Amino acid sequence: MLATTAGIRQAAAYLRSGRLVAFPTETVYGLGADATNPAAVSRVFQAKKRPVGHPLIIHAATTAAAFAVGGGGPRAARLAEQFWPGPLTLVLPLRPDAGIAEAVTGGRHTVALRVPRHPVAAALLREAAMPVAAPSANPHGRLSPTRAQHVRDELGSAVDLVLDGGPADIGVESTVLELGAGQPMLLRAGGISAEELAALIGPLAEPAAHEPARAPGMLRKHYAPNTPLRLNADAPSPDEVYLGFGASRRATCNLSPTGDLEEAARNLFTMLRRLDSARAHRIAVAPIPDHHLGKAINDRLRRAERGAAPSDGPPPAQTVCERPS
Ligand code: AMP
Ligand code: MG
């Protein structure tokens, strides 16, 4: 359904009655449910085939509505002032009286909160007037959806309504930052760079590799196409399609011919989907600079590489990206 005023009103009514609504955010499309309704939240896990225990991010219309669910504090307030609405998720102490379904936090005493800035997400959250639990609207482990059609193709009738607000403009998920008693902890690289956050609140810690419980649901394998990936490839071999970055004559698809990391993030999941549909032997990926949004891109590519399963299909179709988005 198109994200008109009437469409948004209907979507809000669906959320209130416990149904699932996919909606655009500035990062990727989310699969939303009333975070205070345990049955609705449980349907999110079923629709995505997401293992229970992986906590969901709660989306709120305003900073005040978000902080009514999770405790603020001066650092959270400063971050919210600078980056909300926007692609930053803060993990904060859960307020026990907020009425959030237990499955949203996986029974934790912390909750992940975000105020998205996409106008359709913002209007929907205002109209629904409730905290909305919304993971990315893709089957668990697969590529995240950056268009309404991706959601329709992959979740089908498991979602009650898809609000179509056009392509997501950032294209990678939100940055997840945990604010506990100690140093702020970067749990997921994303739409706001670690450099931008550090400029405001000082150095960030990152969870050690042996501490997976710290970032629940951050799987080593994730965001995977069916075709295997080969990363940091300067050129493709004959049996590969090539995802380029910067000037390259050989790219089947180019994330950004001018080497712009924002453009690359926006194109990442769409181009991986297109290259996947070429059913090549492998997708070779050009090196991506590892700073700012490049960190989020490289993070997704590494997880996609680990998640990839072998495929044998017809030879590469070199036309998949003739008209890049
Ligand atoms: P998504 O898959 O986009 O819904 O993102 C959810 C991610 O947010 C999880 O994989 C966690 O990394 C993070 N997250 C959500 N809730 C919490 C929480 N209570 N504590 C720590 N991380 C969380
Ligand atoms: Mg996800």
Q: 109-139: per-residue pLDDT in tens?
A: 999 999 999 999 999 999 999 999 999 999 9
For β-strands 57-59 and 132-133, DSSP reports them as antiparallel
Does any domain span residue 218?
no
Q: Would you place residue 224 in the very low, low, confident or very high pLDDT band (cuts 50, 70, 90)?
A: confident
Question: Is residue 311 predicted with pLDDT exceeding 60?
Answer: no
Instruction: Report the domain count for the chain.
Output: 2
- Which stretches of the chain are DSSP H helices? 5-16, 38-48, 63-67, 74-83, 102-105, 119-128, 148-155, 194-201, 261-277, 293-307
Report which bound ligand comes closest to the CA of 139: 2
pLDDT at 95: 97
Judged by its nearest atom, the ligand closest to the C-alpha of residue 300 is 2
Residues 28-47: pLDDT tens digits?
Answer: 999 999 999 999 999 999 99
Q: Report how far ligand 1's centroid is from the alpha carbon of 220 (Å).
A: 14
Domain span holding position 282: 229-307
Any residues with CB less than 8 A from the CB of 316 and at least 6 apart, and which?
A: 239, 240, 241, 252, 278, 279, 280, 281
pLDDT band at 320 (very low <50, low <70, confident <90, very high): confident
Q: Does the CB atom of residue 215 touch ligand 1 within 6 A?
A: yes
Atom number, ligand 1, closest to the C-alpha of residue 108 = 19
- Residues 183-214 have pLDDT tens digits of 999 999 999 999 999 999 999 998 876 666 66
pLDDT for res 223: 81
Phi and psi at residue 82, to the nearest 5°: -80, -40
Q: Give the mean model confidence (pLDDT) for residues 55-61.
A: 97
Which of these, 57, 62, 51, lies nearest to 89 by C-alpha position? 57
- Between the CA of 314 and the centroid of ligand 2 the distance, in Å, is 30
Neighbours of 161 (CB within 10 A): 17
If one compares 106 and 314, the residue with the highest pLDDT of the two is 106
Same structural domain, 173 and 241: no
Is there a domain that residue 319 lies in? Answer: no
pLDDT of residue 221: 73
**Each residue of 291-311: b (16+ CB within 10 Å) or e?**
ebbbbbbbbbbbbbbebbeee
Q: Are residues 164 and 46 part of one domain?
A: yes
197 plus 73 within the same structural domain:
yes
Shared-domain flag, residues 155 and 288: no
pLDDT in tens, 233-279: 999 999 999 999 999 999 999 999 999 999 999 999 999 999 999 98
Ligand 1 mutation pick, 69, 176, 178, 188, max ligand atoms within 8 A of CB: 176
Which of residues 199 and 220 earns the better pLDDT score? Answer: 199
* Same domain as 194, residue 268: no
Q: Please work out whether the CB of residue 112 comes within 6 Å of at least one atom of ligand 1.
A: yes
CATH of the domain at 48: 3.90.870.10
* CA pair distance 250, 247, nearest whole angstrom: 9
Q: Do residue 236 and residue 192 come from a single domain?
A: no
The pair of three-digit structure tokens given for residue 246, joined into one six-digit string: 């910067």
Does residue 308 register a pLDDT over 70?
A: no
Instruction: Name the one residue in this structure whose structure tokens are 């009738």.
Output: 157
Q: Are residues 178 and 239 in the same domain?
A: no
Q: Which of 28, 31, 57, 132 to mutate to test the pocket of ligand 1 (most atoms within 8 A of CB)?
A: 57
Query: In this structure, which residues have their CB less than 5 angstroms from ion ligand 2?
Result: 136
Of 65, 64, 47, residue with least CA distance to 56: 47
- Please identify, among 201, 217, 251, the residue that sits at the C-terminal boundary of a domain: 201
Q: Say if residue 18 is in the same domain as residue 152.
A: yes
Task: In whole angstroms, give the CA distance from residue 25 to residue 120.
Answer: 7
pLDDT: which is higher, 85 or 211: 85
Say yes or no: 197 and 233 in one domain. Answer: no
Of the ligands numbered here, which is closest to the C-alpha atom of 144?
A: 2
pTM for the structure as a whole = 0.91
**Assigned domain for 318 exists:** no
pLDDT at 315 over 50: no
| Per-residue confidence band for 321, with pLDDT thresholds at 50, 70 and 90 | confident
Domain assignment present for residue 324? The answer is: no
Q: Which residue has the higher pLDDT, 181 or 286?
A: 286
Mean pLDDT over the full length of the chain: 91
Q: In terms of domains, do 182 and 262 share one?
A: no
Residue type, 206: E
pLDDT score at 214: 66
pLDDT at residue number 210: 63
The answer on 195 and 114 residing in a single domain is yes
Tokens found for residue 99: 């009425």
**b/e code 45-77 from CB counts within 10 Å (16+ = b):** bebbebeeebbbbbbbbebebbbbbbebeebbe
- Cβ atoms within 10 A of the Cβ of 258, count? 10
Sheet holding 88-93, edge to edge: 161-162, 21-24, 29-34, 132-133, 57-59, 110-114, 88-93, 175-178, 185-188
